[in-house]
Amino acid sequence: MQLNDFKHIFQSGTGDSTLLLLHGTGADEGDLIPLARQLGWTGHILSLRGRVSEQGMPRFFKRLSFGVFDLEDLALRTQELLDYLPVAAAHYGFDRQQLDSLGYSNGANLIGSALLRAPGCFRKSVLLRPMIPFQPEKPATEAPGEVLLLSGSNDPTVPAGMPEAYAQLLSAYYPGQVRLELLPGGHGLSQADLSMAQGFLLGVSS
């Protein structure tokens, strides 16, 4: 992978930490930066645009229909992301080991796929309105990494029971390091999401 294989925004911040941002379907690399800044994130930011277009809407991997993922494409796109991160780290001079991630919906699903495929690939991850991206065939290998799942208790895009099953699946890889919060509401974000993401990423509450 080369630096411009992903359209992206890199913003330098203070300290050694970098936050990777992956948007939801139809958004772009500018979408989540205000949210990250609203959280009070002052470190570096690397925000990517999905390389797949669904009728002009950027996504991080293809889907066959609503909520049904193209697993072959997902595997390929996950590997592309994992290959891209060291390229971006070398170019911008950030520490790949101090990389946190935050994704919304489709972007959260690519982060989740990376967490399952390459355990330990991120230090802290916030998955906003995620779905189980795929069911791994290999036994889980334990790795360091903390995960916060923020799900809507009434989210029409996520089947009932999936958030709990996903937290359980991730816990096999990241024992004792996975937290699920089922928040009132649907697929859209609320102030509660922001407060919880902030507390988790920055260790503060608003």
Is the CB of 11 or the CB of 157 nearer to ligand MLT? 157
Nearest approach in angstroms of CB 131 to ligand MLT is: 5
Whether 91 sits among the annotated catalytic residues: the reply is: no
Return residues touching ligand MLT (CB under 6 A).
Answer: 24-25, 63, 105-106, 109, 131, 157
Which CB sits closer to ligand MLT, 139 or 161? 161
Q: Provide Rg for the chain, Cα atoms.
A: 16
Which phi and psi (to 5°) does residue 188 adopt? -80, 160
According to DSSP, residue 96 is labeled G
Give least dist CB 107 to ligand MLT, A: 8
Instruction: Catalytic residue, from 17, 101, 105, 125: name it.
Output: 105
**Nearest Cα to Cα of residue 85 among 143, 3, 30:** 3
Q: How far is the CB of 109 from ligand MLT (least distance, A)?
A: 4
Q: Report d(CA 132, CA 113) in Å as an integer.
A: 8
Residue 187 among the catalytic residues: yes
Identity of the amino acid at 118: A
Question: Of residues 31, 100, 155, 193, which has the active-site annotation?
Answer: 155
Catalytic option among 28, 73, 171, 187: 187
Amino acid, res. 72: E
Find the residue with minimal CB distance to ligand MLT. Answer: 106
Q: Catalytic site residue 105?
A: yes
Residue 58 class from Cβ within 10 Å (0-12 exposed, 13-18 middle, 19+ buried)?
Answer: buried
Catalytic residues: 105, 155, 187
